[in-house]
Amino acid sequence: MTHLTAPDGTPISALCFGCMQFGGTADEAASRAMYDACRAAGVTFFDTAHVYTDGASETLLGRFAAGERDSLVIATKAAYAGGAGRRNILTSLDDSRRRLGTDVIDVFYLHRWDAETPLEESIETLAELHRTGAIRHIAVSNFAAWQVVKAQAVAAGMGVRIDMIQPMYNLVKRQAEVEILPMAASEGIAVAPYSPLGGGLLSGKYAAGGTGRLSTDARYAARYGPDWMHRAAAGLADLAGEMGHHPATLAVAWVAAHPDVTAPIVSARHADQLAPSLAAATLPMDDELRARLSALSLDPPPATDRLEEA
């Protein structure tokens, strides 16, 4: 397994904070309050992307982290738009380093698979950046398992490797359990899953009649539209109430307890909203509780049609 540390050797934290809302739904003051709350909770791992909030996310994170940069693991992503060709990767990296105020990116992701660009071109560019010290770890986001393995094979031929992946994973989105997480465990790749709260569905607010991204964003409404997902969220809220925990705390802890997960990515719009997710880092999650939570949702189908062997 890849062991990631900050430049000064500080270990990576069990939770990662996703800075997608910095400079967007979270203004600078709210963003700073969330950053400070993360640091107080021991978070050393921060995730952003070139595309987030037109660069404000990276700029604010760089500003907040400036005094302690070497004790943090900072990840960003390239090539969400414009493809994963050499020119776009290099231009994106230059922008990100300038915004973040750092010469070195700890974890540098390809944001998504690019079927139009030869994989060799993308990986060769990342390998060059790794060799020159511009990036410390090569990573990929939103790749299928076969795409990760294909990228890993190309990387191996160039003397580098994929060290981290970023898939979607939460209590109602469990496809990663079928091939992505077993593949990562087999290949020794770290995993930082995003959306542990399912776009807010698993925070309990919808079960309580609230509104949010699922009611305002058509993509999230479709992604989390099936009735069974909402029933699972209601069941999670009931169980959380029974145990005296916030639903978000249980949802994040459930993801974090998977043995192949390195650090779930938590996020929020303000510090009060973030607090229950940060609390997951200290919530005991034994096998019995995780199984009870898992029973609220549907197991994904196995990767084989030979069901008698599954």
* % of the chain residues with pLDDT over 70: 99
User: How confident is the model at residue 74, as a pLDDT?
Assistant: 98
> Which pLDDT score, from 0 to 100, does residue 1 have?
56
* Other beta carbons within 10 Å of 185: 15
> Looking at residues 86-101, what average pLDDT do you find?
98
Q: Hey, how many other C-beta atoms are within 10 angstroms of the C-beta on 307?
A: 8
What is the set of domains in the chain, with CATH numbers?
16-199+246-285 (3.20.20.100)
Averaged pLDDT for residues 21-42: 98
> Active-site residues: which are they?
52
Q: How many CB atoms lie under 10 A from the CB of residue 7?
A: 15
Strands (E), the chain: 16-18, 45-47, 73-78, 105-110, 135-141, 162-166, 190-191, 265-266
Residue-wise pLDDT for 47-75, tens only, equals 999 999 999 999 999 999 999 999 999 99
What is the reported pLDDT for 150? Answer: 98
- The band of 310, judged by pLDDT with boundaries at 50, 70 and 90, is low
Please, which pLDDT band fits residue 3 given cuts at 50, 70 and 90?
Answer: confident
pLDDT tens per residue, range 213-270: 787 888 888 999 999 999 999 999 999 999 999 999 999 999 999 999 999 999 999 9
Instruction: Kindly give the pairing relationship between strand 16-18 and strand 265-266.
Output: parallel
Q: What is the mean pLDDT of the chain?
A: 95
pLDDT at residue 289 is higher than 70: yes
Residue 99 has pLDDT above 60, yes or no: yes
Model confidence band, residue 271 (pLDDT cutoffs 50, 70, 90):
very high
Q: Exposed (0-12), middle (13-18) or buried (19+): which is 9, by Cβ within 10 Å?
A: exposed
Backbone angles phi, psi at 207, to 5 degrees: -65, -25
What is the per-residue pLDDT for 2? 66
Between 1 and 280, name the one with better pLDDT. 280
What does the alpha-carbon distance between residue 5 and residue 20 come to, in Å, rounded to a whole number? Answer: 22
Please write the tens of the pLDDT for every residue from 103-122: 999 999 999 999 999 999 99
As a whole number, mean pLDDT of residues 280-308 equals: 92
For residues 76-93, give the mean pLDDT: 96
Instruction: Look up residue 71 and give its amino acid.
Output: S
pLDDT value at position 307? 75
Decide if pLDDT at 306 tops 90.
Answer: no
